[in-house]
Structure 1
């Protein structure tokens, strides 16, 4: 696929998730300088451009019309793309447009700016050192159940986008899979007048939102607790027994097991058990 000689340059431009004051100066500069602005919803994006005092051609490129993208790039090679809210390329067709621009030998830039899941993660009070962005879950069936099971088992915090009418059901499903003690938070209407973050256990959150809610929502789910490993797991017992049979002392076996990652007390108990078992009298088989 080839286009004309005009150089292709695509910008993915973040737009506010709520408060219009969150637009960046660079985003305004790019929107003003582009040949056109592509978007998911021309009415919504048109309102933003009007608010900013920007007059550019608007082209709809959503999940249903992205097949038009080659022709749009031919007509408007310097193209800015915005989603309905937040950073394009996350849970919207912006990533597909960027990939096409690169495939055609063009240049692509992603501007930093507003996104919903990062402030929701920080507001949750949960561990933000490691996290997984899950985005929107499947709406039903086996695929949804399998994804929820995977989410429930992750050791890191998980960020989920959810719609208002499915929030209560999702919280109940997570409570069933994760148990009653797992904590989470629900953040909605970020940067807007009625912004709210509610924190608690999954059952308490399900009860809190049982009557429905409005707004755009991010769920932050606490990671699964670390599994307590039996010191005899991972072959440690077999190693200890073999060393005891070879005449190894409790101290020698303990030090070797510590080298395999066991805690000192667990290594000592396993070493002592192995030496005692080996020294115990055995029947003569008569």
Structure 2
């Protein structure tokens, strides 16, 4: 049975061409996989965020890029879509690479992927290095649930507004930031999340001068005054769970009781869903009823 929707259409198309989103090293060229080496050596077209960086990587890896190399960055990627899709339709492989890490993750590639999916053309990925996952793994913060927020807005007001909206986020958060904005960003995070919120600044991951600083946000603000340089990821712990107070839950208990539920049953249900002690909630409800 053929699947429905845009993604499903790609299952019904037979073609030998494909788009390959290829992860490249985030620092150490030795992290390049054998599959990446083979892809760069054999793809008909390599669409690169920065062609000079691509050739530099190929030189460090000791390989020759046989196919055509084209620039594919945020300013021209929309105009490249039709050209690259034609290569795939003709049976060719298009390798898409960013400066570091996985294309489409705060890097070019998404418009091409969407167009290929809509056209029913194959898109696959060659997994590899990821600054997001590397920073998360070494941060020492919870990794079971996390979210990636990318780069924050440059304007202070927009940045503060976005961070305020994340203040109650329970998952660990991962951000990218430019070194010259790091101090201001950490200060804004301390204001929005509280200076005691645990965080980690991961700088120059996998490179010679890799540095990971783990501390509360207030301490990181002071540390960043020295203007650290390089590629930076900031990992921030999620908001701690809010402890419910029995008195705040009394209106909900009484509303359920007024609707016909036994008071004890209402107390049990609300206490179970909020974690408040049944005894405390029952006493507060009785006290409110007697007023």
Which residue of structure 2 lines up, in the alignment, with residue 236 of structure 1? 252
Contact 2:247 2:284 in 1 (8 A): no
Match of 1:70 among 70, 76, 82: 82
> Which deviates the most, 198-207 or 46-55?
46-55
Which residue of structure 2 lines up, in the alignment, with residue 30 of structure 1? 39
Which residue of structure 1 lines up, in the alignment, with residue 267 of structure 2? 257
Match of 1:159 among 147, 160, 174: 174
Which residue of structure 2 lines up, in the alignment, with residue 213 of structure 1? 228
Change (3 A) 1:48 1:278: closer
Aligned length: 270
Instruction: Trace 1:122-133 onto structure 2 (pairs within 5 A).
Output: 122-133=137-148
Matched, 1:40 2:49: yes
Counterpart secondary structure, 2:191? helix
Counterpart secondary structure, 1:272? helix
TM-superposition CA deviations, 1:168-226 (whole Å, max 9, x none): 00001111111221110000111111001001111100100112111100100111121
Question: 1:23 Cα shift?
Answer: 0.8
Distance 2:237 2:26 in 1: 24
Q: Structure 2: state its 5+ residue gaps.
A: 1-13
TM-superposition CA deviations, 1:39-80 (whole Å, max 9, x none): 110000111122331223211011111112312443564210
Which residue of structure 2 lines up, in the alignment, with residue 266 of structure 1? 277
Counterpart secondary structure, 1:70? helix
Match of 1:60 among 71, 74, 91: 71
Counterpart secondary structure, 1:260? helix
Change (3 A) 1:75 1:156: closer
Taking structure 1 as the reference length, the TM-score comes to 0.85
Distance 1:109 1:185 in 2: 32
Distance 2:169 2:205 in 1: 26
TM-superposition CA deviations, 1:119-151 (whole Å, max 9, x none): 211211111111110011111154322211122
Counterpart secondary structure, 2:127? coil
Distance 1:183 1:162 in 2: 17
Change (3 A) 1:82 1:273: closer
Contact 2:203 2:232 in 1 (8 A): yes
Which residue of structure 2 lines up, in the alignment, with residue 115 of structure 1? 130
Instruction: Trace 1:74-223 onto structure 2 (pairs within 5 A).
Output: 74-75=86-87, 77-140=92-155, 142-223=157-238
Counterpart secondary structure, 1:184? strand
